[in-house]
């Protein structure tokens, strides 16, 4: 069944049987003090505005029975999958912090915040890079479920959300980005990143408010 969502630059025609919600990197390491985001010099409180809107869309997605995928950025404990090029520019990765070793799989900081904890059966994709398709099984998971549309949420808008959006675009997925269910440490980057999605007739896809997406999922 199809249903239109109010969106920029044009309404998004939701295909409820082929859409997935992808929640990107809503991890303590990015959203709570003492993690990776803070180690990079950021004010992590700036990302918290996205939590409520994502909670709303996640509840609607679960009620509608659509696929929900969660991603986590992080590395193996021995950092074997951490490129030197990334390590040099993010020296905090692997260091001990108040939430365990920063951006290391299995540590408390690497985990998804309690408000958005994955439910049983929802795939959690661990990724070593910014994009959720690079060096992961995400594409296989989506193809197996015949998914062609992605609703993208999470942090940060211009880094991991945008990288995933671009990877998804080139793989043929239609992408809708939640304007209030994404966030950046830099409000001006958040705004610009969203404008880039919808500009030029929707060069990367669509941008919509979480309330409109949740309402459409609820009615579908």
Catalytic residues: 25, 127, 160
Is 160 a binding residue for ligand TIU by CB under 6 A? The answer is yes
Please, what is the minimum distance in Å from the beta carbon of residue 77 to ligand TIU?
Answer: 19
Compute the distance between CA of residue 101 and CA of residue 96 in angstroms, rounded to an integer: 4
Which element (helix H / strand E) includes 26? none
Residue nearest to ligand TIU (CB): 160
Please, what is the minimum distance in Å from the beta carbon of residue 155 to ligand TIU?
Answer: 5
Which residue lies nearer to ligand TIU by CB, 102 or 207? 102
With beta carbons less than 8 A apart as the criterion, state whether 203 and 49 touch. Answer: no
**Three-state DSSP class for residue 220:** coil
Which residue lies nearer to ligand TIU by CB, 58 or 93? 93
Please, what is the minimum distance in Å from the beta carbon of residue 40 to ligand TIU?
Answer: 6
Please, what is the minimum distance in Å from the beta carbon of residue 53 to ligand TIU?
Answer: 17
Q: Binding segment for ligand TIU among 76-84, 112-120, 154-162, 209-217 (CB under 6 A)?
A: 154-162
Compute the distance between CA of residue 164 and CA of residue 188 in angstroms, rounded to an integer: 20
Instruction: Quickly count helices (H) and strands (E) in the chain.
Output: 8, 10
Is 29 a binding residue for ligand TIU by CB under 6 A? The answer is no
Binding to ligand TIU (CB under 6 A) within 66-125 occurs at 73
Is 155 a binding residue for ligand TIU by CB under 6 A? The answer is yes
**Three-state DSSP class for residue 153:** strand
- Among 159, 168, 183, 213, the residue binding ligand TIU under the rule CB under 6 A is 159
The token pair at 70 is 């969660």
The token pair at 205 is 């896809």
The single residue listed with the structure tokens 């994404």 is 182
Strand ranges for the chain from DSSP E: 2-5, 12-15, 19-24, 67-73, 96-97, 100-101, 124-127, 149-155, 174-183, 206-208
x/- track of binding to ligand TIU for residues 56-75 (CB under 6 A): -----------------x--
Contacts to ligand TIU by CB under 6 A: 25, 30, 40, 73, 130, 155-156, 159-160, 185
């Amino acid at each position: 069944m199809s249903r239109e969502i109010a969106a920029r630059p044009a309404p998004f025609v939701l295909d409820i049987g082929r859409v997935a919600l992808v929640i990107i990197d809503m991890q303590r390491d990015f959203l709570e003090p003492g993690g990776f985001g803070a180690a990079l010099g950021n004010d992590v409180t700036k990302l918290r505005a996205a939590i409520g809107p994502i909670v709303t869309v996640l509840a609607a997605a679960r009620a509608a029975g659509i696929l929900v995928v969660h991603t986590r950025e992080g590395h193996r404990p021995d950092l074997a999958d951490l490129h030197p090029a990334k390590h040099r520019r993010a020296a905090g990765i692997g260091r001990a912090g108040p939430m365990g070793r920063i951006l290391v799989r299995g540590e408390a900081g690497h985990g998804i915040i309690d408000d958005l904890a994955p439910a049983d059966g929802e795939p959690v994709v661990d990724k070593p890079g910014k994009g959720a398709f690079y060096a992961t099984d995400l594409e296989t998971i989506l193809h197996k479920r015949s998914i062609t549309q992605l609703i993208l949420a999470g942090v940060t808008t211009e880094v991991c959300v945008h990288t995933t959006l671009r990877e998804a675009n080139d793989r043929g997925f239609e992408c809708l980005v939640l304007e209030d269910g994404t966030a950046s440490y830099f409000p001006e980057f958040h705004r610009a990143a969203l404008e880039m999605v919808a500009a030029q007739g929707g060069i990367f896809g669509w941008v919509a408010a979480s309330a409109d997406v949740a309402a459409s999922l609820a009615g579908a």
